[in-house]
């Protein structure tokens, strides 16, 4: 069979028709083989799941990395351990038919509280393939559904092509609230409802073709394979045991819950209604029910496939500070790694961490604001210090509150360090600068609006030759030397010759 690209072009529908036509032209024996499924790959049962973790063990692991969120950690640890331990049970067809209800999870919480981080930690700990998707991109394609199924295909890629492992993986979809139908819209919101229905099929049980109809490369590969073997191999992934976890901020859901709680409050109950309306949103989310999610814009079948709901709470300033203080804080460790890439070691004082946590809390974006607060404070240092001789410094309160002044001090000190180092290399004499002399040099350089190292080169231009005459292998510059460098050098030389003539 010869494939003519000019005949089929790159249109997926034309390619499909071309493949069907080629199948009809195959010998009857080959058509029968393809028809009876002998060329397709049956759903893989896979090896037994090697999982023996219990909920409290997984929860203890999460406690090491995630601040607060005890309710969500307990729910996730319990239901995920139950899901994977249940997969080890021996198959009982009758029992499986009525008892195979997946514990798909819905996470509700504001941005930056650790929803994605929790799921990544769990997937890494238990060692299963993990894929994260964003529900917003599905809304762009409406109810076509191709992008939705791509999550399953990506899971196979994460499993290095092992379909059996992929069929026991985790798919995490963030911003699921963005595919809720728009409230108050006249008529059905077809695009978002269509995405819900396509996700609904995946969350329950369906088979996804490993090769997307929109993937031209995969379809061409299938053509080549059919040309060589005369068979159409169809690999499918069964989603029966794939665990789905979805999350979102659900802005406005608290208002729906409050209305339901206050429903019917009249007369003498008006004061209680006001009290309930003053409840913080995070407390209202604890009372969420299916009817609230339906009013928010989700279809009943979709919510029915998410039997487990976990609430994550907004982080207070103390929580953000605890994140920064943690020895496993990804924010602090990442910033230390950034500077270490230039050979610079940094430390953080506790007071500096307090200021950073307070600044991050003002932004109201949870733990995500910590990265921004740290970056804004240290970006000038990250730019300038690699070009200096500074190899260690402490991020203290002054560095955070007055970065320009502290950076100038560091660079000035570094400039003096460069001068001493170059002096030693050039003259073979170890040179030091006394602390009070260093302060005077920095003050004088600042007054002259010049570099400290350039000032030293001017003041001590004759010191290389003079210290050699005095046969000194090491020398410390004093305040007197800064004030009158030539007189101090002359005294050193005269003292040396006086001793030599005695």
CATH number at residue 290: 3.40.50.300
Encoding tokens for residue 314?
């907004």
Could you tell me if 346 and 435 lie in one domain?
no
Residue 116 sits in the same domain as residue 253:
yes
Count CB neighbours of 313 within 10 A: 20
Judge whether 486 and 443 are in contact, CB under 8 Å. Answer: no
Q: Is residue 16 situated within a structural domain?
A: no
What is the reported pLDDT for 136?
76
Query: Is 305:239 a contact under the CB 8 Å cutoff?
Result: no
The sheet with strand 243-248 has its strands ordered as 130-134, 170-174, 243-248, 105-108, 308-311
Same domain, yes or no: 292 and 422: no
Tally of domains within the chain: 3
In the predicted model, what is the mean pLDDT of the chain? 79
**Does 232 fall in a domain?**
no
Q: Let me know: does 432 contact 422? Beta carbons within 8 Å.
A: no
Q: Beta strand pairing status for 236-238 and 207-209?
A: antiparallel
Q: Is 330 helix (H, G, I), strand (E, B) or coil?
A: helix
**Same-domain check for residues 342 and 194:** no
Would 494 be classed as within a structural domain?
yes
On whether both 384 and 351 belong to a single domain, the answer is yes
| pLDDT recorded at residue 501 | 75
How far apart CA 319 and CA 429 sit, in angstroms, is: 53
> Does residue 466 lie in a domain region?
yes
Task: Tell whether 270 and 125 lie within a shared domain.
Answer: yes
Between CA 291 and CA 288 the distance in angstroms is 8
Q: Could you identify the residue written with the tokens 């003498």?
A: 268
Q: How many CB atoms lie within 10 A of CB 236?
A: 18
Same domain for 277 and 247: yes
Which structure tokens are listed for 175?
């911003």
Nearest to 212 by CA among 170, 288, 274, 154: 154
CA–CA separation, 348 and 332 (whole Å): 9
Of 342, 317, 330, whose CA–CA distance to 374 is shortest? Answer: 330
Q: How far apart are the first and last CA of the chain?
A: 108
pTM of the predicted model over 0.85: no
Q: What would the pLDDT profile of 302-356 be if each residue is shown by its tens digit?
A: 888 899 999 998 888 999 999 999 988 889 999 999 999 999 999 999 999 999 9
CA atoms within 13 A on the CB side of 57: 9
Do 252 and 397 have their domain in common? no
Q: Residue 392: in which H helix or E strand, if any?
A: strand 392-395
Predicted pLDDT of residue 499: 82
Strand partners, 130: 170
In 3D space, the residue among 39, 26, 36 whose CA is nearest the CA of residue 234 turns out to be: 39
> How distant, in Å, are the alpha carbons of 151, 156, 159, 173, 175 from that of 131?
7, 10, 10, 8, 14
* Beta pairing partners, 207: 238
Domain end, chosen from 263, 281, 311, is at 311
Query: How far is it, in rounded angstroms, from Cα 236 to Cα 244?
Result: 18
72 in the same domain as 133: yes
> Alpha-carbon distance 368 to 72, whole Å?
19
445 CB-side CA count, 13 A: 24
Residues 263, 121 share a domain: yes
- Whether residue 306 is contained in a domain is answered as yes
Longest dimension (CA), the chain: 119
Residue 417 forms part of a structural domain: yes
Output b/e per residue, 169-199; b: 16+ Cβ within 10 A.
Answer: bbbbbbbbbbbbbeeeeeeebebbbbbbebb
The C-alpha atoms of residue 300 and residue 291 are separated, in whole angstroms, by 9
By the 10 Å C-beta count (0-12 exposed, 13-18 middle, 19+ buried), 218 is classed as middle
DSSP string computed for 399-455: HHH-HHHHHHHHHHHHHHHHHHHHHHHHHS-EEEE-HHHHHHHHHHHHHHTS-HHHH
Look at residue 212 in the predicted model and tell me its pLDDT: 67
| Residue 164 host element (H or E) | helix 163-166
Last residue of a domain, one of 311, 338, 363: 311
> Would residue 142 be called left, alpha or beta, if left means φ above 0 and alpha means ψ between -120 and 50 degrees?
left
What one-character DSSP code corresponds to residue 486? H
Q: Which domain holds residue 261?
A: 55-92+99-205+240-311
Domain boundary among 266, 295, 311: 311
Q: Smallest Cα–Cα separation from 180: which of 217, 132, 136?
A: 136
Question: Does 175 share its domain with 278?
Answer: yes
* 295 part of a folded domain: yes
**304 and 363 share one domain:** no
User: 3-state class of 207 per DSSP?
Assistant: strand
Rg of the Cα atoms in the chain: 34
Q: What is the C-alpha to C-alpha distance for residues 140 and 194, in angstroms, rounded to an integer?
A: 11
Q: How far apart are CA 404 and CA 380, in angstroms?
A: 8
CATH number at residue 390: 1.10.8.60
Q: Could you tell me if residue 46 is inside a domain?
A: no
| Contacts of residue 142, Cβ cutoff 8 Å, sequence gap at least 6 | 190, 191, 194, 195
pLDDT at 338 (0 to 100)? 93
- Spell out, as residue ranges, where the chain has pLDDT lower than 70: 1-49, 90-100, 139-147, 182-191, 212-234, 263-282, 502
């Amino acid at each position: 069979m010869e494939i003519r690209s000019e005949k089929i072009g790159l249109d997926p529908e034309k390619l499909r028709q071309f493949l069907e036509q080629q199948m009809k032209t195959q010998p009857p024996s080959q058509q029968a083989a393809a028809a009876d499924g002998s060329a397709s790959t049956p759903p893989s049962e896979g090896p037994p799941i090697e999982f023996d973790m219990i909920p409290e063990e997984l929860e203890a692991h999460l406690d090491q990395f995630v601040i607060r969120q005890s309710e969500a950690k307990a729910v996730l640890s319990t239901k995920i351990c139950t899901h994977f331990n249940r997969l080890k049970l021996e198959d009982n067809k009758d029992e499986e038919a009525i008892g195979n209800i997946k514990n798909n999870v819905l996470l509700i919480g504001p941005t930056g509280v650790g929803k994605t981080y929790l799921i990544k930690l769990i997937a890494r700990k238990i060692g299963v393939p993990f894929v994260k998707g964003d529900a917003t991109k599905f809304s762009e394609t409406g109810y076509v559904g191709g992008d939705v199924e791509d999550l399953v295909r990506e899971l196979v890629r994460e499993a290095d092509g092992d379909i059996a492992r992929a069929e026991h993986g985790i798919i995490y979809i963030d911003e699921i609230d963005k595919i809720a139908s728009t409230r108050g819209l006249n008529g059905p919101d077809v695009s978002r409802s269509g995405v819900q229905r396509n996700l609904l099929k995946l969350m329950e049980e369906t088979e996804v073709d490993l090769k997307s109809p929109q993937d031209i490369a995969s379809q061409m590969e299938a053509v080549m394979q059919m040309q060589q073997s005369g068979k159409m191999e169809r690999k499918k992934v069964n989603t029966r045991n794939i665990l789905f976890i979805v999350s979102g901020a659900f802005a406005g859901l608290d208002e729906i819950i409050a209305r339901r709680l206050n429903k019917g409050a009249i007369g003498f109950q008006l004061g209680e209604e006001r009290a309930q309306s003053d409840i913080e949103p995070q407390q209202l989310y604890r009372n969420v029910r299916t009817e609230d999610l339906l009013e928010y814009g989700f279809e009943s079948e979709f919510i029915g496939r998410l039997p487990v709901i976990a609430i994550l709470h907004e982080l207070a300033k103390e929580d953000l500070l605890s994140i920064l203080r943690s020895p496993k804080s990804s924010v602090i460790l990442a910033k230390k790694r950034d500077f270490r890439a230039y050979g610079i070691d940094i430390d953080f004082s506790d007071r500096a961490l307090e200021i950073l946590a307070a600044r991050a809390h003002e932004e109201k974006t949870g733990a995500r604001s910590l990265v921004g607060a740290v970056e804004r404070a240290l970006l000038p240092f990250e730019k300038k210090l690699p070009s200096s001789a500074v190899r260690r410094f402490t991020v203290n309160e002054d560095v955070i509150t007055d970065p320009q002044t502290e950076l100038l001090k560091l660079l000035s000190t570094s400039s003096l360090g460069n001068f001493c180092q170059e002096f030693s290399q050039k003259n073979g004499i170890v040179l030091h600068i006394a602390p009070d002399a260093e302060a005077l040099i920095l003050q004088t350089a600042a007054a002259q609006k010049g570099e400290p190292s350039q000032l030293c080169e001017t003041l001590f231009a004759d010191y290389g030759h003079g210290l050699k005459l005095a046969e000194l292998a090491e020398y410390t510059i004093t305040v007197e030397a800064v004030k009158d460098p030539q007189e101090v050098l002359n005294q050193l030389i005269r003292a040396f010759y006086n001793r030599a003539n005695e």
